[in-house]
Chains A and B, each alone.
Chain A
Amino acid sequence: MGMAAAESPFHVLAVDDSLIDRKLIERLLRTSSYQVTTVDSGSKALEFLGLNENDESNPSTPSVSPNNHHQEVEVNLVITDYCMPGMTGYDLLKKIKESSSLRNIPVVIMSSENVPSRINRCLEEGAEEFFLKPVRLSDLNKLKPHMKKTKLKDQKQGTEDKLDNSEVQQLQPQQQIQNDLQEAPKPQDPQPESESHLEQPQQSLQQANNKRKTIEQGLSPETDRTRPRYSGIATVV
């Protein structure tokens, strides 16, 4: 059972300017057995991710930890509020997706407002899910497939280094597919909720289902996105 040791808990970076919402999301994530770091702004999130706000990677900037070395703190998912002063969740999403070193990190947006155009914008920009606030435990069940995808990519990266990795790779995709098959058909909200909650499952389910299909087809359709994220040294420009 050597591979059990290779599994570390998923690490989520949660971004929200509201203290109460940060406490909430932190508790929700911890209850779901994720490791959590919370920050109160998009710029702090980028700092934590090792990205200088102004340019991709700039090791000479003293205020930000050097891009490559900071990546020992692996982040498997970013979940961010949409409405924040300064950098919105959408802005943060864009910056992450525009960064060659960070764009593989799945991003989830949260918002207290159900605005379809907003939701679409975020999903089009590459957000994996869009959650309406207040976020619930059941929402977080949708996160695992997205995080597992990136963990798998990382492990593929490390193949050259780790000899026994082939076993892990064999098992992971099947587990993933099984999980997805189990999770996919369930609608999100069984109870009679207000309309605002009804829209969300449609959007995110659709999106998620599309992504799940591609997983079942045999992993990483976006093979060019498997580009080094954590062989950090290589990404310094």
Chain B
Amino acid sequence: MDTNHSRRQLAAMKQSLFDQGLLDEQFIQLEELQDDANPNFVEEIVTLHYRDSSRLISSIEQALKERNLDFNKLDTLMHQFKGSSSSIGAKKVKAECNLFREYCRAGNAEGCMRSFQQLKKEHAALRKKLEAYFQVSRV
């Protein structure tokens, strides 16, 4: 049956995300909250996260264009971004957030820009993989 195949595929995809250090335990916690009454809970939360995080990325991008960086503002925005990422178990993205915040606290503009570029990459990469994951889960 197709469902068995897709279930195995799904499990493999998930395992791979864990092995690559992209997801952590929190993702499992989310899955445990899913049940027959809330069959799409994980996807709903992840969707919410990407809505949230896209908005925050834009805000941070804007803030980074300012002549004199407002590190407090950047740190606050990143704090929110980190929280949202943490809630879905985005392990690597979370680590990038921490790095960015360290640069903020050090007042290191270049460091901020660099880590932000990296963060966007990780964010986009995970998003793609999760989209693929949910596609398979819907089969």
What residues of chain A have their CB less than 8 Å away from a CB belonging to chain B? 18-21, 23-24, 27-28, 31, 83, 112, 133-134, 136-137, 191
The reply to whether B48 and A23 form a contact with Cβ atoms under 8 Å apart is yes
- Residue in B25, B79, B87 whose beta carbon sits within 8 Å of that of A20 in the complex: B87
Is B111 located at the chain interface by the 8 A CB criterion?
no
Measured CA separation A27–B89 after assembly (Å): 16
The answer to whether A134 and B29 touch across the interface, beta carbons within 8 angstroms, is yes
5 A-B pairs with least C-beta separation: A20-B48, A112-B83, A27-B33, A134-B26, A134-B87
In the complex, 28 of the A-B residue pairs with CB atoms within 8 angstroms, ordered by the A residue number, are A18-B52, A18-B84, A19-B52, A20-B84, A20-B87, A20-B88, A21-B87, A23-B45, A23-B48, A24-B45, A24-B87, A27-B33, A27-B38, A27-B41, A28-B33, A31-B33, A83-B79, A112-B82, A112-B86, A133-B86, A133-B87, A134-B26, A134-B86, A134-B87, A134-B89, A136-B29, A137-B33, A191-B25
- Whether a CB of chain A sits under 8 angstroms from the CB of B44 is yes
Q: Which B residues are in CB contact (< 8 Å) with A137?
A: 29, 32-33
Which residue of B is nearest A83, CB measured? B79
Tell me, rounded to whole Å, the shortest Cβ–Cβ distance linking A236 to chain B. Answer: 39
* A133 and B83 form a contact (CB under 8 A): yes
The A interface is mostly helix, strand or loop, or mixed, namely helix
Is A20 within 8 A of B52, CB to CB? yes
**B6 CB-CB contact with A under 8 Å:** no
Specify which chain A residues have a CB less than 8 angstroms from the CB of B83 in the assembled complex.
18, 21, 112, 133
- On B, residues with C-beta under 8 Å from A are 25-26, 29, 32-33, 38, 41, 44-45, 48-49, 52, 79-80, 82-84, 86-89
How many cross-chain pairs have Cβ atoms below 8 Å apart between A and B?
Answer: 44
Q: How far is the CA of A134 from the CA of B49 in the complex (A)?
A: 14
Additional 18 contacts, C-beta under 8 A, given A23-B44, A28-B33, A31-B33:
A18-B52, A18-B80, A18-B83, A19-B52, A20-B45, A20-B52, A21-B83, A23-B45, A27-B33, A27-B38, A27-B41, A83-B79, A112-B83, A133-B86, A134-B86, A134-B87, A136-B29, A137-B33
Closest to B47 in A: A20
Closest to A24 in B: B87
A82 CB, min distance to chain B CBs, angstroms: 11
* Cβ-closest chain B residue relative to A194: B24
A193 to B96, CA, bound (A): 19
A193 nearest CB neighbor, chain B only: B25
Using CB atoms, name the residue of chain A closest to B52: A20
Give the complex CA separation of A137 and B25 in angstroms: 13
Residues in B whose Cβ lies below 8 Å from that of A27: 33, 38, 41
> Residue of A at shortest CB range from B38?
A27
A54 to B92, CA, bound (A): 44
Could you say which of A20, A21, A191 has the most chain B C-beta atoms within 10 Å of its C-beta?
Answer: A20
CA A83 to CA B88, docked complex, whole Å: 19
Distance in angstroms between the alpha carbons of A154 and B89 in the assembled complex:
40
Closest chain A residue to B34 by CB distance?
A27
Docked complex Cα distance between A27 and B52 (Å): 19
> A17's closest neighbor in chain B, by CB?
B80
Question: How far apart are B136's CB and chain A's nearest CB, in angstroms?
Answer: 23
Given contacts A27-B41, A137-B32, contact A19 B48 (CB under 8 A): yes
